[in-house]
C-alpha cells in the first residue's frame, strides 16, 4: 500500500494569480506544489475575511527547501 503524501502550507497568497506565480517558481525548482482555497473566493472574487487567500502547499519533506527558495525570492525583490 502506498503511503499518502502529507502537504504543508509554505506560502499564503492574497490572490489566485499570485499563488500561481509562487507555484510556478517552486515547480521550476522541482518542488511539486498544489493550491488550496475556498471556491467561493475564486468564483465570486471575494477577498474578505481570507476568502480570497490561496495557500501554496508542498510535500512536507520539501517544505524547508521551498521556504528557503521563497525567502531568497523575497530578498531579491527588496
Domain boundaries, the chain: 7-71
Judged on CB neighbours under 10 Å (0-12, 13-18, 19+), 22 is buried
The CATH class for the domain spanning 7-71 reads alpha beta
CA 11 remoteness from chain centre: 5
User: pTM score, two decimals?
Assistant: 0.79
DSSP-based three-state secondary structure for 36: strand
Strand partners, 58: 8
CB 34 within 8 A of CB 57: yes
Cα–Cα dist 49/58, whole Å: 24
Give the model confidence (pLDDT) of 38-75 as tens digits. Answer: 766 555 555 555 567 899 999 999 999 999 999 987 66
Amino acid at each position: 500500500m502506498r503511503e499518502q503524501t502529507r502537504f504543508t502550507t509554505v506560502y499564503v497568497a492574497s490572490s489566485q494569480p499570485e499563488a500561481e506565480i509562487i507555484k510556478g517558481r517552486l515547480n521550476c525548482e522541482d518542488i511539486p506544489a498544489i493550491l488550496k482555497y475556498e471556491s467561493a473566493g475564486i468564483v465570486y472574487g471575494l477577498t474578505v475575511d481570507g476568502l480570497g487567500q490561496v495557500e501554496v502547499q508542498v510535500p512536507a519533506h520539501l517544505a524547508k527547501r521551498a521556504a528557503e527558495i521563497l525567502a531568497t525570492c523575497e530578498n531579491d525583490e527588496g
